[in-house]
Chains A and B, each alone.
Chain A
Amino acid sequence: MKSIQATFEINGHEVTLSSAPNRTLLEVLRQDLGLTGAKDACGGEGECGACTVIMDGKAVNSCLVFIGQVQGCSIETIEGLSGNGDLHPLQRAFVEVGAVQCGYCTPGVIMASKALLNENPHPSDEDIREGLSGNLCRCTGYVKIVDAVRIAAEQQPRR
Chain B
Amino acid sequence: MLEFDFLTPNRLDESTAILEETGGCILAGGTDLIPKMRNDLFFAPILVDLSNIDELSFIEEKDDQIVIGALTTHQAIAESALLKSTNPALVTAAGTVGCVQTRNRGTLGGNIANASPAADSVPPLLVYDAQIRLLNKAGERTMPLTEFLVGPGMTKLESGELIHSVSFSQLQGAWGGAFQKLGVRNGMAIAVVSVAAAIVLDASGKVSDTRLALGSVASTVVRSPKAESALIGHEPTPEVVSRAAEACAEDISPISDVRSTAEYRRHAAIVLARRVLEQAAAEARGRLV
Contact = CB atoms under 8 A, between A and B. Distances in A.
A and B: bona fide binding partners: yes
Nearest to B189: A133
A115 interface: yes
A21 B47 CA distance: 10
A112 B213 CA distance: 34
A66 B25 CA distance: 14
A37 interface: no
Interface string B51-87: 1100000000000000000000001000000000000
B100 A64 contact: no
Contacts of A1: 3-5
Contact of A68 (B8, B31, B104): B8
A150 B75 CA distance: 23
Given A64-B30, A69-B30, A134-B188, A46 B101 contact: yes
A21 B6 contact: yes
Interface residues of B, number: 30
A65 B101 contact: no
Interface residues of A, number: 36
Interface string B11-41: 0000000000000000101110011011000
B12 to A, nearest CB: 18
B102 A44 contact: no
B120 interface: no
B75 A66 contact: no
A131 B188 CA distance: 11
B99 interface: yes
A24 B105 CA distance: 14
Contacts of B258: none
Interface string A1-17: 11010000000000000
Nearest to B27: A66
B98 interface: yes
B187 interface: yes
B51 A69 contact: yes
Interface-centre pick from B1, B49, B101 (highest chain A CB count, 10 A): B101
A22 B29 CA distance: 15
